[in-house]
Structure 1
Amino acid sequence: MTQKFEPLQNDLIIRTAWGQKVERTPMWVMRQAGRYLPEYHQAKGKLDFFQTCRDPEVASTLTLQPIDRYAGIVDAAIIFSDILVIPQALGMTVEMVDKKGPHFPHPLTSPDDDQYKQVLSKNVDVAVELDYVYKAITLTRHKLKGRVPLFGFCGAPWTLLCYMVEGGGSKIFKEVKTWIYKYPQATKDLLQKIAEVCVEYLALQVQAGAQVFDSWAGELSPSSFNEFSQPYLAYIAKHLPTRLEELKLEPVPMVVFAKGAWYALDALCDMGYQVIGLDWLQDPAEAVKIRGTRPIVFQGNADPGILYGSRESITKLVKNMVAGFGGGKQGWIANLGHGITPFVNPDDLKFFFEELHRFTT
């Protein structure tokens, strides 16, 4: 059932995402609700990470913390959750290990693995399995009272596959490379299953907007990206609007972020997403050239490490970024080139936002 929310007071980021000319550049940062904020640790208390995600009240509180702290200078919230809720919905166990990150005690080992067959055959009712995400989104939208829009998101199929077969983060990606080069069809079957779940998951987040993260796209060669990532990102872009129409929901702008896949920017521009996130390895002016006249909006792409630097360095980066993206009145949402990292001083992030306001207003 479609929820009723207060009218948006700040729709700057939505107008920008649909390609409109705007009065200034909208801005937010990935992972802006997170552990760099002292209030995050107070609200989280002794809950572990996934307990936090599954508690709608706590998740909504964490989502709102940067909106409250940076009131009037940040233009969107992003729901506090995690991309790995989808593998959990597919029946896999995921734990968050302190100082190590996500861990799958029983990763997928081969197409002959019983767990692989169970994941592939499972009829996932995301409305039930991930009900806590939707409750957190609805609660957060009501608490926001229209101050700014709220992003929802999911992990891209390739990145989720990496976690599901590696068992966690990796530096050499031995297991997933074994899968794509030894079991290519089984890999594609699993990617298709994940993509189908992503579409339904995102459709039920639609009041919040939808963003797709492909954090490990850069681990693929261009040809492998074309085979094992691009088709499934395209599947989501094609089928999500159809699913929204079936549910009698209004279309929302869709954002894709394929970290490290600078070589695929031209293809991404034709994939059906309205906004493409860029990491900090991509030159803004070069990206604008590749985009050409296509009605694509870019998002990004400051190096997150700039927030450890001096105020002078932040100002210089902002000026260069604004110039590279053409001034900021159309076709650009200001952001970092990946998520904000730990130990950042929140006041330095505020200065980053303030400088963006100064140079784009």
Structure 2
Amino acid sequence: MAAFPPLKNDLIIRASRGEKVERVPVWIMRQAGRYLPEFHEVRKHHSFFEICRTPELACELTLQPIDRYGSLLDASIIFSDILVIPQAMGLEVQMVPGRGPVFPAPLVTPADFERMHKHVDVDKELDYVYKAITLTRHKLEGRVPLYGFTGAPWTLMAYMIEGGGSKTLSKAKAWLWQHPAETHDLLQRITDVAVTFLVGQVRAGAQMLQVFDSWAGELGPYDFKKYSLPYIKQISTRVKKELKEAGLDVVPMTIFAKGAWYALEDLTNIEYDVVSLDWTIDPEYARKVTKDQVVLQGNMDPNTLYAPFDTIRETATRMVKAFGKDSKHIGNLGHGILPTVDPEALRVYLETIQTVSAEIRK
């Protein structure tokens, strides 16, 4: 591994490991993205996936919020996308303005597995992500740690079958009953790629990892335990085992299973250090269910950032206090920041979390 600049702010790493810290660390999902005017300047000249595949551009966008907000952010997250895994597996994904991600030829039946690569050379196919991570670690100059990430198998499978976003996931969920054996086969194939990908990201310089199960809540409790939980558990256990065997740092790992409020207890027991909460989960309830066995991340509703600044301050203050004076907490939103948010509204949110949490922990 390359010799990187020494880390100047390790607050979020210490907090992720459950250590008592002086204040709540904070970062934002999708913080390198469409709400920033400087992001749009870059996008005028480059397509979305062109940026993902160009390490210098991915690095530039990763640094934008760090440069803008300075000490108000305690982590960066590499500019990439969860759908680079389906691309690596042989499926075409386009980012269409006004629609989001689109698969021109999604998986319709298991016969379509023939269109995917039988063997995925993950380190070759996704080397551009690794290069972006290594470059960004150097360019960060130790200001904050860098997150790597992947999509969870169920969420990626759903995209691959639906062909894009969906309100019902009816096509993907139909597979669970119509093609159960092939469903598990596909979930396992995605899991294997994700494990190799995450280990590669750490090797490249990622200091923390997050797994995004964005559509977890579209499954009921029984189906979540059958089609999501075993695979996200595999990811955490295998990644940590492989990192240890390779002599690499066993970095903190976070799971974000959006909408799966019913699975909090299960998520506490699958070897993730941090469980990220969406805004529908009460922090006090989450602390009670998880019994402070894991660090909790979140969880203000992203839409609150459209409120007057005083309301943002009030809501953020209430959130910090609800997680508790001495709680294991990482500040974040309950999902990604929305593209039309005023960047100054985010500044208010970040300032409030840092100020309030430092005050109540004195």
Fold shared per TM-score above 0.5: yes
Range that drifts further, 19-28 or 306-315? 306-315
Map of 2:114 onto structure 1: 117
SS in 1 for 2:134: helix
**Preserved contact between residue 292 and residue 328 of structure 2 (Cα < 8 Å):** no
Deviations 1:324-360 (A, max 9, x none): 1112x54100000000001111111001111111101
Q: Which amino acid aligns with 1:34?
A: G
> Could you list the per-position Cα deviations for residues 213-259 of structure 1 after superposition, in whole angstroms to 9, with x for gaps in the alignment?
00000100100001000000011011001111232211000000000
Residues 1:161 and 2:161 are matched in the alignment: no
In the alignment, residue 162 of structure 1 is paired with which amino acid? A
Matches within 5 A, 1:242-281: 242-281=241-280
Q: TM-score, normalised by structure 1?
A: 0.97
Gap runs ≥5 in structure 1? none
Instruction: Report the count of equivalent residues.
Output: 355
1:350 alignment partner AA: R
Which residue does 1:222 correspond to in 2?
A: 221
Q: In the alignment, which residue of structure 2 is the partner of 1:351?
A: 348
Q: Is the 8 A contact 1:262 1:282 kept in 2?
A: yes
Q: Which residue of 1 aligns with 2:100?
A: 101
Partner SS for 2:74: coil
Residue 303 of structure 2 aligns to which amino acid in structure 1? Answer: G
Structure 1 SS opposite 2:70: coil
Report 1:185-224 matches (<5 A).
185-206=181-202, 207-208=205-206, 209-224=208-223
CA drift of 1:45 comes to 2.7
Q: CA deviation at 1:293?
A: 4.3
**Cα distance in structure 2, aligned partners of 1:263 and 1:219:** 12
The one-letter amino acid paired with 1:281 is T
* CA–CA distance in structure 2, aligned partners of residues 56 and 247 of structure 1: 25
CA distance in 1, matches of 2:251, 2:219: 29
One-letter identity of the residue aligned with 1:124:
V
- TM-score with structure 2 setting the length: 0.96
CA apart distance, 1:43: 2.3
Q: In structure 1, the residue corresponding to 2:270 is in which secondary structure?
A: coil
The 2-side partners of 1:144 and 1:292 are apart by: 35
Q: Which runs of 5+ in 2 are unaligned?
A: none
**Aligned AA (2:309):** R
Do structure 1's residue 131 and structure 2's residue 127 form an aligned pair? yes
SS at match of 1:83: coil
Letter in 1 for 2:136: T
CA contact (8 A) 2:268 2:275 kept: yes
2:148 aligned residue: 152
Deviation sequence 1:43-63 (CA, Å, 0-9, x none): 233211111111111110000
Identity %: 54
1:317 pairs with 2:319: no
Runs of 4 or more, structure 1, over 6 Å off, are none
For the Cα contact (< 8 Å) 1:16–1:330, is it kept in 2? no
**CA distance in 1: counterparts of 2:131 and 2:122, whole angstroms:** 13
1:331 correspondence with 2:328 = yes
Amino acid at match of 2:199: A
Cα RMSD (Å) of the superposition?
Answer: 1.0
Matches of 1:118 and 1:243 in 2, distance apart? 29
